[in-house]
A and B are shown apart, each in its own frame.
Chain A
């Protein structure tokens, strides 16, 4: 199975900060990676698909990048409503797997 390692597990940042979340795959996943945001008590929500494609309706402060085994989700200017847990998900090869998440908090 492909292991997805997200770092850091918890990130504290201030409103307006540029925030970078990391996701590392145990093998090349050929950009077959999505990012999901989950707020407390809600279902996950698609933010970015195929590494760098912004889902319809998602604010442009969210962006994704990466290739091979290393991927990044960036929030250009953190807003209070961005407090959530963020998950990466690979669908390059089965079984498809999620990372353990990065919990984003306000400082």
Chain B
């Protein structure tokens, strides 16, 4: 069965970086993109961007350019998101989701989410 397993919760200091992972299983990894979504109580759900797991090409929401960097390791079927120059506003739950590459860009499977807390 399709699964997206994300790494564990992170506690980080302002100004630092974190890198969270999303390991896929149960399907051909390079046949679907991986998207990342941020969820906070105040801002709700926000689309960060996606990575083409085959080519490594990326597309970002302008708001997250310079904040999020998406990468992929095809050999381990794992996608990564690095968040840099962290501020308290980056505290959120971050989800990875499998995205269809064509037609409806639906997110049909989601990871369990990673809580990132930025605090001194």
In the assembled complex, the Cα of A89 lies from the Cα of B99 at a distance in Å of 13
| Residues of chain B lying within 8 A (CB to CB) of residue A44 | 37, 45, 95, 107, 110
Q: How many residues on the A side are at the interface (Cβ–Cβ under 8 A)? A: 22
Chain A contact surface mostly: loop
- Answer whether residue A32 sits at the interface, using C-beta atoms and an 8 A cutoff: yes
A49→B45 contact, CB < 8 A: no
A-contacting residues, B21-72, CB 8 Å = 37, 44-47, 59, 61-63
CB distance from A19 to the nearest CB of B (A): 21
| Residues of chain B lying within 8 A (CB to CB) of residue A89 | 45, 47, 107
CB distance from A57 to the nearest CB of B (A): 10
A43→B105 contact, CB < 8 A: no
- Answer whether residue B19 sits at the interface, using C-beta atoms and an 8 A cutoff: no
Q: Can you name the residue of chain A whose Cβ is closest to the Cβ of B103?
A: A50
CB distance from B6 to the nearest CB of A (A): 9
Q: Can you name the residue of chain A whose Cβ is closest to the Cβ of B95?
A: A43
- Answer whether residue A7 sits at the interface, using C-beta atoms and an 8 A cutoff: no
B45→A98 contact, CB < 8 A: yes
B61→A95 contact, CB < 8 A: yes
- Answer whether residue B112 sits at the interface, using C-beta atoms and an 8 A cutoff: yes
The 6 closest A-B pairs by CB, nearest first: A43-B110, A98-B45, A49-B106, A95-B61, A50-B104, A96-B47
Residues of B within 8 A of A (CB): 37, 44-47, 59, 61-63, 95, 103-108, 110-113
Contacts A46-B108, A87-B44, A89-B47 known; 4 new A-B pairs at CB < 8 A: A32-B105, A44-B107, A45-B110, A98-B44
